[in-house]
Structure 1
Amino acid sequence: MWIAWLLLLPCVLAHTIDLLPHTEHCFFEDMHVGDEMTLTYQVSGGGHLDIDVRIRDPDGQLLFQQLRKDTGTYDFVADADGRYTYCFSNEFSAISDKTLSFNVHGILYLTEDEGLIPAERELRDLATNVQLFKDEQEYLVMRERVHRNTAESTNSRVKWWSIIQTILIVAVCAFQVYFVKRQFEVRRTI
């Protein structure tokens, strides 16, 4: 039983890749006419959290393009048989690498003639809704991670700024005590 769960675990996790500066990663899906595909992605770290995304059909025609965005979703139905390409690009970045999580899922099209009974249709709808819920949950986890990192960074800066201010106040107070004490010293002249 546990072995089955361990074997299924990689199937439910999102794909995570690191995009180095000036690089592009492309992936391929072989699809038939009527197949549906959904691509969701979320940038979770690096730079301004933005990447370019492009999806092309088997003929190389651009189906979808989103430039310098941190998250996105695109659904489409295949119009032709062949290999569809989706690419994630960090080519515009000169310094920072990006961490990207993405999910690809699809539905193979079956007609009523191919034996799709109402129970199967309901199961397919349920599976689609569970997948959408899972994608939304992963998006929320990524957003929480980004916001937590921002809060921790801000907290650290406030801490160090407070320490520096405390040191400056103590130094100014010591200087004032020394200066006032010198003003009231009796100076002897011979």
Structure 2
Amino acid sequence: MKFSQFVLLTTLVFSCSYALDININGRDIYCLYQQLFQNEHLVVRYEVSGYKPDQFRFSVYEDFSDTSKQPLYEVYNQKSHIYNLTATKQHEYKVCFQSLDNSGKILQFELNRINNSADDSYADDKKLQQAYNESVQAYYTLNDIYTNMRHTLLRLEVQDKILESTESKVKWCSIIKMILMISITTIQIVFLTGLFKDSSYQGI
């Protein structure tokens, strides 16, 4: 028995679609690997034409590391079929098509990936209104923050001016005190010197 694989890698997030025509030789197997996200749907549609188109097998594997395990889903002797797979978790699935006799067949199939969460990404009127309300609330919050910061800066500026004025007053008071102390000391020295001079004259 001759085996071959046809591998498709999908990387779209929301949805994607494949439609292919393949010539399948007698008893050949063609497999595709699909990586699905949680709650994502995979819809498989196929139709077989040629000699004895009902001699056909379609199967889906969840765990394809062990070939002895039973497939997640399989159907025999159906020349056309539709299968819908819903992923319960992020996982890679294997989809296989096989001719059951020695005659060649033409396989036409379509794969559609649908992610329901994609609908949540579109903005409706309710979401736009919610976004508008949140923007208005953010504006008022930022305005309050700006007002508080402005008042704080003005208060700090006034306090700086008061400190500068107080420092200047303290400095001048210190200078005046020093001048007064020097003046008083000088007067006392002159007065005491005069007293000693008078005492010395009287002693003579």
TM-score (norm: length of structure 2): 0.46
Larger radius of gyration: 2
TM-score (norm: length of structure 1): 0.49
